[in-house]
């Protein structure tokens, strides 16, 4: 089994493997090209994102600068808006639901490293997927860690660090991010 297959299956893998290194270089070249385009080059920007992402909905907006590790593990289910300076470490799948808005300077980090020093210095990683529901609003400077699911219509306050799952229809804030109130949505009744 290749290191890429191990990575995608959520098993231990070595990110410095030749194939994975080449995949990251390709994604970074594409991101550099994307980030250099003028704002009015909407069609060219969409074509680049379509070639980079595993799945992208119509009319998605990804403001520059945007960075990712691979791109092929990123899936947008419909319209998604990503503000400036987002980083997607997509060693595992990052899926984002329709109607989601993400503020500037947000990070989505799927890889994890062993706690044990001896194992960590070997370079081995494990990646866990991130899933963002539909109609979510993520404020600026939010960090979302490996294995987290954020429920539909949730609001994540600016500056939060999301380390655990967040349910549907809530406002959650802080470091670590915690639910502070329920949102009364007609769809949740």
Please name the helix (run of DSSP H) or strand (run of DSSP E) that holds residue 52, with its range, or none.
Answer: helix 42-52
For the stretch 147-171, pLDDT in tens is: 999 999 999 999 999 999 999 999 9
State the CATH number of the domain containing residue 29: 2.160.10.10
Task: Say if residue 113's pLDDT is above 60.
Answer: yes
Banded pLDDT at 187 (limits 50, 70, 90): low
Please state, in angstroms and as integers, the Cα–Cα distance from residue 56 to each residue in 60, 97, 98, 130, 154, following that order. 7, 10, 10, 16, 21
What is the SS3 assignment for 2-17?
CHHHHHHHCCCECCCC
The rounded mean pLDDT for the chain is 96
Residues 6+ apart with CB under 8 A from 86: 62, 63, 66, 67, 102, 104, 105, 106, 107, 108
Q: Tell me which residue range forms the domain holding 124.
A: 3-179+183-187
**How many domains are there within the chain?**
1
pLDDT, residue 40, reads 95
Per-residue pLDDT tens digits for 66-82: 999 999 999 999 999 99
Give yes or no for residue 177 having a pLDDT over 90. yes
Q: Which helix (H) or strand (E) holds 45?
A: helix 42-52
When pLDDT is cut at 50, 70 and 90, the band that residue 186 belongs to is low
Tens-digit pLDDT profile for residues 27-37: 999 999 999 99
Look at residue 39 in the predicted model and tell me its pLDDT.
94
- CA–CA distance, 173 with 129 (Å, rounded to integer): 21
88 pLDDT higher than 80: yes
Report the alpha-carbon distance of residue 155 to residue 175 in Å, rounded: 15
Note the pLDDT of residue 184.
87
Among the listed residues 33, 113, 119, 164, the single catalytic one is 113
The secondary structure of the chain in percent helix, strand, coil, rounded to multiples of 5, reads 25, 30, 45
Write the secondary structure of 15-38 as one string of H (helix), E (strand) and C (coil): CCCHHHHHHHHHHHHHHHHHHHCC
Closest CA to 37 of 9, 10, 79, 65: 65
Q: Is 113 a catalytic residue?
A: yes
The whole-angstrom separation of Cα 134 and Cα 97 is: 4
Overall residue count recorded for the chain in this entry? 189
Tokens of 146: 């490996």
Query: Is the pLDDT assigned to residue 56 strictly greater than 70?
Result: yes
Tell me the mean pLDDT in the region 129-148: 98
- Whether the per-residue pLDDT at 122 is higher than 80: the answer is yes
Among all chains, which residue has been given the structure tokens 């960590």?
A: 120
Q: Is 90 exceeded by the pLDDT of residue 133?
A: yes
pTM for this predicted structure: 0.95
């Amino acid at each position: 089994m290749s290191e890429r297959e191990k990575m995608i299956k959520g098993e231990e893998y070595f990110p410095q493997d030749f194939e994975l290194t080449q995949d990251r270089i390709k994604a970074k070249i594409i991101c550099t090209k994307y980030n250099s385009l003028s704002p009015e080059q909407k069609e060219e920007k969409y074509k680049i994102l379509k070639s980079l992402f595993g799945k992208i909905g119509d009319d998605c907006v990804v403001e520059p600068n945007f960075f990712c590790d691979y791109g092929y593990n990123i899936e947008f289910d419909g319209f998604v808006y990503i503000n400036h300076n987002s980083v997607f470490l997509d060693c595992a799948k990052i899926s984002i639901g329709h109607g989601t808005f993400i503020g500037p300077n947000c990070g989505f980090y799927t890889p994890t490293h062993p706690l044990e020093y001896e194992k960590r210095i070997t370079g081995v990683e494990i990646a866990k997927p991130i899933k963002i529901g539909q109609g979510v609003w993520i404020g600026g400077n939010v960090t979302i860690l490996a294995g987290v699911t954020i429920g539909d219509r949730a609001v994540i306050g600016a500056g939060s660090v999301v380390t655990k799952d967040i349910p549907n229809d809530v406002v959650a804030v802080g470091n670590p991010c915690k639910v502070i109130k329920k949102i009364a949505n007609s769809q949740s009744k």
